Amino acid sequence: MTLSLRELSVSFRDPSGCALPALGPISFDVKEQEFVCVVGPTGCGKSTLIRVLAGLLPASSGAALCEGALIDRPMNQFAIMFQDANLMPWRTVLDNIALPLEIAGVSRSSRYETVRALLPQLHLEGFESAYPAALSGGMEQRVALGRVLVQQPRVVLLDEPFGALDALTRENLGRLLLRLRQRYTQTIVMVTHDINEAVLLADRVIVMSRGPGRLVADVSVDLPRPRTHDMIYHQAFLTLTKRIRASIDDLSA
Amino acid sequence: MGAGSTLRRISPFLTIACLLLLWQWISARGIISHILVPPPTDVYQAFTDSLADGALLKHTLVTLEEMFFGLLLGVGIGLAIGYAIAKAPILENILSPVIVAFQSTPIVAYAPLLVIWFGSGIASKIVTTAVIVFFPTLVNTIVGLRSVSPNLRDLMRSLKAGRWQIFRHLEAPSALPVILAGLKTSTTLAVIGAVVGEFVSQGSGLGYLVTSARNLYDTPLVVVAVFTMTAISLSLYGIVAYVEWRFLVWQRRSSA
Ligand SMILES: Nc1ncnc2c1ncn2[C@@H]1O[C@H](COP(=O)(O)OP(=O)(O)OP(=O)(O)O)[C@@H](O)[C@H]1O
Ligand SMILES: [Mg+2]
């Protein structure tokens, strides 16, 4: 599915009713099955952007569109994942991943079957009946990723999904995400503040200015796929990360 | 299990045993008059007597009945109003004068009023119990529902969950631990409510047993009635604690 932002801006209101601009105006398009990463300084409105795309927050002006239709409520075939794994502590791994199916009214046996088939790809076999309290941060995010995949979404929105993890776990999860994407081709918008991660994963990197965030750079990543972690030492990779880095540094200059 | 944890387990019982021994010793030595502090053996005698003539059972059942319906009413209304307030905070502003006034007035002070309104039968005791358990239920319901993670709310919205699904899959399980904690307080308060009601309007129940035995200077029977209340209170607390343990499996700490 294609997404597009048309002069989208969002402002919040402080208690006295004054407008606090949080995002934009910003415009860009995401093509069918494109993987777009969004980077930008803290507080520039990245989470706000994701929430508008998810239909959880209305635009103050301009619009977010999916296939040309206004996104004004949570859309079908969209799935969202947050920085915090956001699992339900009272549900087991199996039931957390199965939640979207349960909400959709899928019968217990068929939702368990679907989730069980997914577990090996997430490296979660044997943890079906564990509660989130017993999981590591990386495992929690894999469960959250499972909860996204089980929805068979055509658009995936990720808000710093691996932000709270250590570097190695984060690389592993990045690889897992790419593998899963090969299998279930989707349009992906992912917020991250790790430039290497953005370049390694994405087809395009969008750089946002300080809040209220506007578009300052739109960099195409023409590295070959499949991507491997070795690529971070390639000249092409370094050129790209430098360019992105420079456009961010310009902001603070 | 180490020796330390065994000691921890049995030490409450040791405390009780020591207190009983001390009590027996004091009354055997005649340090304090038996009318004031009857020896444990007299209390035991009163216990078996009142058990044999059915009086203890009868009064206990009356108190239990009052508590049961009082809890049902008070907890039910507390849950309902708590849910409404958590959903529509304006209700808090509207209702708080009444609720705060009720809460800050000692129940013993207005229990006679409740008897005037609801008669000297079981109804007034049920209402007294309901009023006293209402508040902790209300507060814990509001706190529990407000503790629902906003991110999980967003998740449920993005899954297009309906109102009932959000309640069943998110709000109820999030609030349950806090509500059960409130219920533990409520059960002990329910004993107080029922007994206060019985003190105010005589007839039957453990509170009545206490006053009637005191009028006859039957101190052992007073002690028996008081201990029965303690036992009821502890048992109910234990039941709620068990329900907690049974249903909040995910909260149990796994020990290494
Ligand atoms: N519900 C809200 N009410 C008022 N202001 C808000 C609200 N949510 C976000 N903001 C403000 O909007 C701005 C953008 O917030 P947002 O969370 O989108 O930033 P972000 O780019 O995701 O930051 P970070 O990198 O730290 O996650 C911030 O100034 C924030 O304080
Ligand atoms: Mg954010």
Rounded distance, CA A35 to CA A220, Å?
A: 11
Are residues A72 and A58 in contact, defined by beta-carbon separation less than 8 angstroms?
yes
Is residue B109 less than 8 Å (CB to CB) from chain A?
no
Q: What is the pLDDT of residue B113?
A: 86
- Which of A76, A50, A72 has the alpha carbon at shortest distance from A59? A72
The angle at the Cα of A193, spanning A187 to A195, to the nearest 5 degrees, equals 80
Q: Is B8 helix (H, G, I), strand (E, B) or coil?
A: helix
Chain A interface with B: residues with Cβ < 8 Å: 51, 54-56, 74, 76, 78-80, 82, 84, 86, 88-91, 99-100, 102-104, 131-134, 151
Q: Is A111 helix (H, G, I), strand (E, B) or coil?
A: helix
Rounded distance, CA B113 to CA A24, Å?
A: 63
Are residues A80 and A54 in contact, defined by beta-carbon separation less than 8 angstroms?
yes
Rounded distance, CA B35 to CA A170, Å?
A: 76
CA distance, residue B94 to nearest chain A CA (Å) = 22
What's the total number of domains in chain A?
2
Tell me which residue has its CA closest to atom 8 in ligand 1: A48
Are residues B114 and B127 in contact, defined by beta-carbon separation less than 8 angstroms?
yes
Domain shared by A133 and A164, yes or no? no
Determine the structural domain holding residue A44 and report its residue range: 3-77+153-252
Q: Which of A136, A152, A168 is the last residue of a domain?
A: A152
Q: What is the pLDDT of residue B256?
A: 46
Domain shared by A157 and A145, yes or no? no
Contacts of B249 in chain A (CB under 8 A): 131
Q: What is the pLDDT along chain A (253 residues), one digit of tens a residue?
A: 889 999 999 988 888 888 888 887 999 999 988 999 999 888 889 999 999 999 999 989 988 998 888 898 898 889 999 888 899 999 999 999 999 999 999 999 999 999 998 898 888 888 888 999 888 888 999 999 999 989 989 899 999 988 878 888 888 888 888 888 877 778 999 999 888 889 988 999 999 988 788 888 888 888 888 888 888 888 888 888 888 888 887 776 5
Task: Verify whether the Cβ–Cβ distance A55 to B160 is below 8 Å.
Answer: no
Domain shared by A37 and A110, yes or no? no
Rounded distance, CA A201 to CA B92, Å?
A: 49
- Backbone torsions φ then ψ of B67, nearest 5 degrees: -65, -40
Task: Verify whether the Cβ–Cβ distance B173 to A90 is below 8 Å.
Answer: yes
| Strands, E assignment, chain B | none
Domain shared by A157 and A67, yes or no? yes
- Bridge partners, A79 (sequence order): A156
Q: What is the pLDDT of residue B70?
A: 93
What are the pLDDT digits (tens) for B55-90?
889 999 999 999 999 999 999 999 999 999 988 888
Owner of token pair 């991110």: B151
In CATH, what is the architecture of B38-251?
Answer: Orthogonal Bundle (1.10)
Rounded distance, CA B222 to CA B209, Å?
A: 7
CATH number for A63: 3.40.50.300
Which residues are near ligand 2, the ion (C-beta closer than 5 Å)? A 47
Using the mean position of ligand 1's atoms as its centre, give its distance from the Cα of residue A79 in Å: 21
Alpha helices in chain B (DSSP H): 3-28, 40-52, 55-87, 90-104, 107-118, 122-146, 150-158, 163-166, 172-200, 206-215, 219-247
What residue spans define the domains of chain B?
1-32, 38-251
Nearest CB partner across the interface for A103, out of B165, B173, B251: B165
On whether residue A68 sits in a domain, the answer given is yes
Nearest CB partner across the interface for B157, out of A74, A102, A134: A74
- Which of A134, A139, A146 has the alpha carbon at shortest distance from A81? A146
Domain shared by A146 and A64, yes or no? no
Rounded distance, CA B17 to CA A249, Å?
A: 74
On whether residue A123 sits in a domain, the answer given is yes
Tokens of A185: 């081709």
Domain shared by A166 and A68, yes or no? yes
On whether residue A11 sits in a domain, the answer given is yes
Interface of B with A in 213-252 (CB under 8 A): 248-251
Find the helix packing angle between B90-104 and B122-146, rounded to 10°.
130
Q: Within 6 Å (CB) of ligand 1, which residues are found?
A: A 12, 20, 22, 42-48, 211
Domain shared by A148 and A221, yes or no? no
Task: Verify whether the Cβ–Cβ distance A74 to B149 is below 8 Å.
Answer: no
Task: Verify whether the Cβ–Cβ distance B151 to A82 is below 8 Å.
Answer: yes
Task: Verify whether the Cβ–Cβ distance A99 to B170 is below 8 Å.
Answer: no
Q: Cα–chain-centroid distance for residue A4?
A: 16
Rounded distance, CA A37 to CA A233, Å?
A: 20
Using the mean position of ligand 2's atoms as its centre, give its distance from the Cα of residue A46 in Å: 6
| Global pTM value | 0.81
